Amino acid sequence: MSDVWDIMGGMGSPHQSPSSTPASNQQGDVQRQKMKKMKPEGMSRELFSIISDDNNDCAPIVHNDFSPVGSLNDGLTQRHEVKLNAMPWFHGKIKREEAESLLQPREDGLFLVRESTNFPGDYTLCVCFNNKVEHYRVIFKDNKVTIDEEEYFDKLSELVEHYHKDADGLCTRLRMSVPKRGGLEFSAFEKAGWAMPVEDLDFGEVREVLGRGEFGDVRLAYYRGQKVAVKILKDSCKAAQNFLAEASLMTSLRHPNLVQLMGVVFDGPSICLVTEYMAKGSLVDYLRSRGRLHVNKKDQINFATHTCAGMAYLESKHVVHRDLAARNVLISEDGIAKVCDFGLAREESFSLRGEKFPIKWTAPEALRYNKFSNKSDVWSFGILLWEIYSFGRVPYPRIPLDDVVKHVEKGYKMEAPEGCPSEIYEIMKQSWDLDPDKRPTFALILKKLEHLKTLAV
């Protein structure tokens, strides 16, 4: 059985009887005063349960704590979404000492969750604070989980989300997770129909580099005679979780204004994301290299509308991009703009890894409070509009980077670029409202842009 199943708690693990519960807690485990030290009756450690079988030839229907109801052999005959990163912080059955060795460096709020070794069937939340590791027992009771037996959660993920937002009695709030080693594997992509054999990729003799990133290069290749872009990750276990989380998210997204994933290649220590090839490169480079002589108003409104359409789709799926900018929009051979680079994109929720974000494109509430939403993406879209109509200039051109946030929080808004239509600048200003609730949705912006598109000459 692959580690993808292990990250979900293990398949087919034995039920634990109430009599197997120890009478006392492991020394050093942090306990709230009201925490009971007995194992709940009828506890089951199995996270998968058969809910329909009928003794026929069809695959049984399963349900678990982490994913929707589905068939056990989903994805063996057709492509489907790969769900990998629901609980990357869950390490399964590891000992206390191993957990402490993984929690390095001992930064406040660094955490993981493991199965309890002292209370079989329960879990342990391990959190760094003041250069030590505190261990909290997570009780499984009446099909819910709790730490203090006052607040109960349906899922471990909901408990983690709660304590990420507020310490609520813990030594500190949860800030960053330690992802499970080997938790994302080739088998999950293979079963879902997204795995590609490396032999099908031809990089040619030149091995043309299309771009360079923090964890590797993007190269031009041919897949069965078709040009593709190959994003290559080499020898980085830490980055692999993020890299494949990006791929897993892309398997669920299909829209003409999003760069499409074609497959994933595992080649020894290297992992490759294969996407459609966008011949004209990034939007920001396109604007800068061609300028006013070659980019007309129709091109500008097209780029804006295409990008907004892709973002409206993400909005409808409750996915937050978190890094929207002209550098992360690519242009196809026929001039279609498509949003790319989903390395920071997440289902609308919260961030557990303390990523760094580009200050000039990120909404103030996201920079200040780590509050990301589709409305913070709208803020970034306003900046992207400014990039389009300034032909790729860097935003806030006359303000030092260290002063940008201070100016923005005081209500400063950039002036309209030269020649920018007043209707477009109005969308920018609405997108830069300090109150996220007052910003328009992408769906509303798209309607406005489509109307303006009919007027463009």
| pLDDT tens, residue by residue, 105-148 | 898 999 999 998 888 888 999 999 999 999 999 998 888 999 99
Binding residues for ATP: 231
| pLDDT tens, residue by residue, 35-92 | 333 333 333 333 333 333 333 333 333 333 333 333 333 333 367 777 654 577 888 8
User: Under 8 Å CB-to-CB from 96, ≥6 apart: which residues?
Assistant: 26, 117, 124, 126, 135
Among the listed residues 29, 122, 299, 323, the single catalytic one is 323
Block residue for tokens 């992509």: 189
Other C-beta atoms closer than 10 Å to the C-beta of 214 total 9
Distance of CA 61 to the CA centre of its chain: 28
Provide the whole-model pTM: 0.65
Q: Which of 276, 263, 273 is nearest to 196 (CA)?
A: 263
Q: Which of 231, 237, 240, 255 is nearest to 188 (CA)?
A: 240
Q: Which domains does the chain have, with CATH numbers?
A: 96-177 (3.30.505.10), 183-276 (3.30.200.20), 281-456 (1.10.510.10)
Indicate whether 270 pLDDT > 50. Answer: yes
Distance of CA 262 to the CA centre of its chain: 19
End-to-end C-alpha distance for the chain, whole angstroms: 60
Binding residues: 231
Q: Quick check: helix, strand or coil at residue 71?
A: strand
Q: What is the DSSP string of 406-419?
A: HHHHTT--PPPPTT
Encoding tokens for residue 446? 């798209």
In this predicted structure, what is the pLDDT of residue 65? 36
User: Under 8 Å CB-to-CB from 258, ≥6 apart: which residues?
Assistant: 310, 313, 314, 338, 339, 340
Could you give the CA distance from residue 249 to residue 341 in angstroms, rounded to a whole number? 11
Could you give the CA distance from residue 201 to residue 204 in angstroms, rounded to a whole number? 9
Is residue 122 annotated as part of the catalytic site, yes or no?
Answer: no
